[in-house]
Amino acid sequence: MRRHHEGRGEGRGDRRGRGAARSATALAVVLALAAALAGCGSDSAEESADEEVALRLVAPEYGDSAKTSSKGYWKRVVASFEKGHPGTTVDVEVHPWRTVDKVLARQVAAGDAPDLAISGTYASYAADGRLYRADDLLSIGTQADFLPPLARAGEMQRVQYGMPFAASTRLLFYNRDLFEEAGLTPPKTWDGVRGAAEALKKRDVPYPYALPLGPEEAQAETLNWLLSGGSGYTDDLGSYTLDSPENVETVGWLKKELVGEGLTGPTPPGELDRADAYAAFAKGRVGMVNGHPSLMRAAERSGVRYGVAPVPGRTEDAGATLGVTDWMIGFRQAGHPEEAGAFLDHVYSEKNVLAFTRAHDLLPVTHTASDTLTAAPGNTTLRRFLAELPEARLYPSEKTSWPELSTRIKSGLADAVAPGGSPKAVLSRLQRHAAAYENPQAGNG
């Protein structure tokens, strides 16, 4: 039953072969001890067998109302798990996304790490030796079921610590009514975005193109644009390339062609958060915005007719779109790998992955659930998001420097498109921060 490694260099087959020999010796010792203790009248063995294990999971809130709260999902998952695993209980703490990582960090710093947590980051905890490897916890079948791009993104030095829990990609949402009234078709290139935005502005659409570079999720909107311009935060070797010529040109285009022409609405991009941009879209005030799957439900609830299209690029054959995943991680401190692993196998069953996907309009992270979703009738738009996932580019979550750099991007990237701002200067400053975070001894430039 024991899932965790005795040594990192051993393969599972090797351990099982040697484990069989050790098991025979161990069995003889156990029988001898049992005979010696048979008349001792000790109740310790029975007490140990009857001891309950209480697992604790810290999780973010994915719902946007009491009706859609993640608490309902976890209540059902925990109830079905506990029914089949007497002696193990699970307590789930649900916190808002804006605070869950801070709550988790405080608990870890106080020496009170939970057994499991869902977080936006894993690298620092892994680097500090606080986390179980994925194969310390998961059965072989569960770990093999993860979609490869997501599993790889959870690796540090080719060892998986982050287990993908929820995923999304981005598509361009557009308001069908506004587009039809203006005689527009979904744009495929940056020039098409500018042309459509100009036409919408002439028709007094408040936000022809909503550009949320506010502190909530500027790192996502930024990466979407950098990828469509042929670059990104890192190169193929994983080195930061924030001030690459392609990135400077991309941000320069945004500043001049969209923001400078008044095509991004009355709120400056640096003050526009994703939630506000989505809310404006759901009110029919936005012509175009890059969005993830949950925007579908918000638009449908408000009766907005929308369409989706691939994120436009510098040319029609632009690079990959943005992919995002949240990470399930297991902390060593609590010391319950068997029970935590059994719970995770339950969480990642096809039934529970699909239940979460359907509850929150997010993408499944496993082959089995993805295949079922793809084959099911309906869900046409959600399948379009899923089709983007194999080629999607994720944040460099394997870098311990990424959380600090992400914070810098959230607070500083918008300066590059503000009046008087310099895309090259801002991106160069971010690149210096990235280098300093990667090599703290080099200073912060």
Q: Residue 214: which region, alpha, beta or left (left: phi > 0; alpha: psi -120 to 50)?
A: beta
Residue 320 Ramachandran class (φ > 0 left, ψ -120 to 50 alpha, else beta): beta
How far, in whole angstroms, is CA 409 from its chain's centroid? 17
Q: What is the mean pLDDT of each run of 10 residues along the chain (445 residues)?
A: 38 38 40 40 41 94 88 97 97 93 96 97 96 97 96 95 96 98 97 98 98 94 95 94 97 98 97 95 98 92 95 83 95 96 98 94 94 86 89 93 94 96 98 91 50
The torsion region of residue 157 among left (phi > 0), alpha (psi -120 to 50) and beta comes to left
Three-state DSSP state, 91? strand
Q: State pTM to two decimals.
A: 0.83
For residues 133 and 147, give the distance between their C-alpha atoms in angstroms, rounded to a whole number. Answer: 17
For 281, the enclosing helix (H) or strand (E) is: helix 274-282
Query: How many Å apart are CA 325 and CA 119, to the nearest integer?
Result: 10
Q: Pseudo-torsion of CA 129, 59, 279, 274, nearest 10°?
A: 0
Which amino acid belongs to residue 288? M
| Residue 442, burial from CB neighbour count under 10 angstroms (0-12, 13-18, 19+) | exposed
Task: List 168's β-bridge partners, or say none.
Answer: 324
- Residue 319: predicted pLDDT: 66
Q: Which pLDDT score is estimated for 50?
A: 56
Residue pair 217/274 in contact (Cβ under 8 Å)? The answer is: yes
Cα of first residue to Cα of last residue in the chain, in angstroms, is 51
Strand bridging mode 163-169 / 323-330: antiparallel
Beta strands in 128-169 (DSSP E): 155-156, 159-160, 163-169
How far is it, in rounded angstroms, from Cα 415 to Cα 408?
11
Distances, alpha carbon 332 to alpha carbons 131, 318, 344, 401, 437, in Å: 5, 42, 15, 22, 26
